[in-house]
């Protein structure tokens, strides 16, 4: 993995992080006290200062991942946009970071758009998504001048045309296409198959119909096609199939409508390593692969490569490994012949992914990071149901009450999917860089829990 700065000879103190170095944040290490650090910040001290549960992120790693996409495109394509998928993790600081790095932002609701606007994110670099955008969301998006709206259904095409006509505006759009491809990932996060609620199918002729209608809509400028096939994908062959399917559509549209799109958006989906045995192919490898296939197809169908703008919408691969969650161990229940439960002060309210997708995580004890992880435990949360587990049968140092337990790879779809179940206040988010900690989202309070109550 190109993004790893892992040199055990140079960093002999990284002993027990060695087998986790491509799962842990890029600037994770262990200090002489045996405490895990990120960007030279001691996580045990951080936990005692800010409390647990706590989301912690390696800021430089976020920038590094975004740049890895941009550098890879720079090597092989003239016109492109890397749009960070905000649903993976969004707050104002994240929007500013993406802006500073020159990226675009993919938002999938009026709420995500509101956060982007609060961060003064340039609206012309925002892509608006959603499979059932409300009238209000569409009006907001058009009014603030988002760069692209990805249209998902016929009703929306009509609604958006009416709104733009009413406002006397022309809105740039892409059409969300279902390429009929099934990547190898959890069924909940497959999105480009024929039995999907998203987009216009190719096989059933809807996609061609949508292209024709979009071209006929006076206030919509059809820029191109979009396909997002799913998430946490390791086998990139599915992207080959997607590009093939999109170009088959392009060929048809050229022949029947004389229309060649000038933009192709391949969505997100690049997988992250959650377990030490997982080695997802690199971002560079992914970009090279899609560029090769697209270049070939452009040649085959006489599409000028320099006139084709490529979009990509990575979420997980930017933020997942940069984030960890810190908890305090409150109880250890060793059930003879059954399992050992380690109860922590968070759970399914800050990480629903284990319950929802059978997600698996690596964990360790931050205050004894150099000790061997030779205990096998199940990390349970504090919520009122048995499905409230974070790590099932994970390796960890022998746990003790008061330990700071770290769950790795929690940067993507953890805070963004967090809830107040059992009226648990959501944790703060802290960014670490150059030995400094910066709170970017504060911890919720009981007052926050009551803030919407009017009765």
> Catalytic residue positions?
384
CB of 450 vs ligand LLP, minimal distance in Å: 28
Query: Which residue from 24, 41, 53, 85 is in contact with ligand LLP, where contact means CB under 6 A?
Result: 85
Does 88 participate in binding ligand LLP (rule CB under 6 A)?
yes
Site string for ligand LLP, 147-166 (x = CB under 6 A): --------------------
Does 317 participate in binding ligand LLP (rule CB under 6 A)?
yes
Is 206 or 357 the residue whose CB approaches ligand LLP more closely?
357
Identify the CA nearest to 366 among candidates 56, 10, 3: 56
Q: Are 165 and 218 in contact (CB under 8 A)?
A: yes
Point out which span in 81-89, 301-309, 329-337, 342-350 binds ligand LLP (CB under 6 A): 81-89
Task: State the CB neighbour count (10 A cutoff) for residue 263.
Answer: 20
CB of 198 vs ligand LLP, minimal distance in Å: 8
Q: DSSP code of 2?
A: T
Distance in angstroms (rounded) separating the CA atoms of residues 383 and 361: 19
Is 77 or 274 the residue whose CB approaches ligand LLP more closely?
274
**343-382 binders of ligand LLP (CB under 6 A):** 353, 357
CB of 274 vs ligand LLP, minimal distance in Å: 10
- Buried b / exposed e along 296-317 (16+ C-beta atoms within 10 A): ebbeeeebebeebbbbbbbbbb
Pairing mode of beta strands 80-85, 309-312: parallel
Q: DSSP code of 425?
A: P
Pairing mode of beta strands 428-433, 436-441: antiparallel
| SS3 per residue for 274-302 | CCCCCCCCCHHHHHHHHHHHHHHHHHHCC
CB of 45 vs ligand LLP, minimal distance in Å: 30
Is 270 or 429 the residue whose CB approaches ligand LLP more closely?
270
Is 269 or 280 the residue whose CB approaches ligand LLP more closely?
269
Identify the CA nearest to 278 among candidates 45, 48, 1: 1
Point out which span in 159-167, 297-305, 307-315, 368-376 binds ligand LLP (CB under 6 A): 307-315
Q: Are 326 and 406 in contact (CB under 8 A)?
A: yes
**175-234 binders of ligand LLP (CB under 6 A):** 189, 228, 231-232
CA end-to-end distance (rounded Å), the chain: 54
Q: Which residue's C-beta sits nearest to ligand LLP?
A: 268
**90-149 binders of ligand LLP (CB under 6 A):** 106, 129
**How many residues at the interface with ligand LLP, by CB under 6 A?**
22
Q: Are 91 and 441 in contact (CB under 8 A)?
A: yes
Q: DSSP code of 224?
A: E
Q: Are 25 and 55 in contact (CB under 8 A)?
A: no
Is 11 exposed, middle or buried (CB count within 10 Å of its CB: 0-12, 13-18, 19+)? middle
Residue with tokens 């995580």, as numbered in its chain? 361
Phi–psi pair at 389, nearest 5 degrees: -125, 150
CB of 187 vs ligand LLP, minimal distance in Å: 12
**232-251 binders of ligand LLP (CB under 6 A):** 232
CB of 210 vs ligand LLP, minimal distance in Å: 16
Point out which span in 295-303, 308-316, 382-390, 399-407 binds ligand LLP (CB under 6 A): 308-316
Distance in angstroms (rounded) separating the CA atoms of residues 385 and 4: 38
CB of 150 vs ligand LLP, minimal distance in Å: 7
Query: Which residue from 267, 347, 399, 411 is in contact with ligand LLP, where contact means CB under 6 A?
Result: 267
Chain residues binding ligand LLP by CB under 6 A are 85, 87-88, 106, 129, 189, 228, 231-232, 267-270, 313-317, 353, 357, 413, 417
């Amino acid at each position: 993995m190109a993004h790893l700065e892992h040199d055990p000879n140079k960093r002999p103190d990284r002993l027990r992080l060695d087998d986790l170095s491509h799962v842990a944040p890029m600037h994770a290490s262990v200090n002489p006290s045996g405490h895990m650090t990120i960007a030279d910040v001691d996580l045990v001290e951080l936990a005692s200062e800010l409390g647990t549960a706590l989301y912690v992120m390696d800021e430089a790693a976020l920038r590094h991942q975004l740049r890895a996409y941009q550098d890879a495109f720079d090597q092989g394509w003239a016109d492109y946009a890397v749009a960070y998928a905000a649903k993976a993790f969004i707050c104002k600081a994240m929007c500013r970071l993406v802006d500073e790095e020159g990226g675009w932002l993919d938002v999938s609701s009026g709420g995500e758009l509101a956060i982007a606007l609060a961060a003064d994110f340039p609206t012309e670099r925002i892509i608006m998504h959603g499979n059932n955008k409300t009238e209000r969301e569409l009006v907001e998006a058009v009014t603030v001048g988002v760069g692209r709206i990805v249209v998902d259904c016929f009703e929306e095409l009509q609604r958006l045309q009416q709104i733009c006509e009413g406002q006397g505006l022309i809105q740039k759009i892409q059409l969300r296409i279902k390429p009929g491809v099934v990547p190898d990932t959890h069924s909940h996060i497959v999105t480009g198959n024929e039995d999907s609620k998203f987009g216009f199918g190719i096989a059933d002729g809807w996609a061609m119909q949508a292209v024709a209608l979009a071209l006929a809509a006076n206030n919509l400028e059809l820029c191109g096609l979009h396909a997002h096939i799913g998430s946490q994908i390791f086998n990139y062959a599915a992207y080959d199939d997607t590009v093939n399917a999109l170009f088959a559509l392009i060929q048809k549209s050229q022949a029947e409508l004389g229309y060649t799109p000038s933009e192709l958006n391949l969505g997100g989906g690049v997988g992250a390593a959650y377990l030490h045995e997982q080695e997802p192919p690199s971002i560079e490898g992914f970009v090279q692969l899609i560029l090769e296939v697209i270049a070939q197809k452009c040649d085959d169908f006489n599409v000028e490569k320099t006139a084709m703008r490529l979009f990509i919408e990575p979420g997980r691969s930017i933020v997942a490994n940069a984030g960890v969650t810190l908890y305090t161990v409150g109880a250890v229940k060793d059930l003879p012949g059954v399992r050992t439960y380690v109860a922590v002060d968070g759970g399914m309210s800050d990480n629903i992914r284990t319950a929802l997708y059978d997600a698996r995580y690596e964990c360790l004890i931050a205050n004894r990071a150099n000790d061997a992880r030779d205990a096998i435990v199940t990390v349970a949360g504090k919520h009122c149901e048995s499905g409230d587990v974070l790590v099932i049968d994970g390796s960890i140092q022998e746990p003790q009450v008061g330990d700071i337990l770290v769950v790795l790879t929690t940067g993507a779809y953890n805070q963004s999917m967090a809830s107040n179940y059992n009226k648990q206040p959501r944790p703060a988010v802290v960014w670490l860089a150059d030995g400094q900690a910066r709170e970017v989202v504060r911890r919720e309070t009981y007052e926050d829990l009551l803030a919407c109550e009017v009765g």
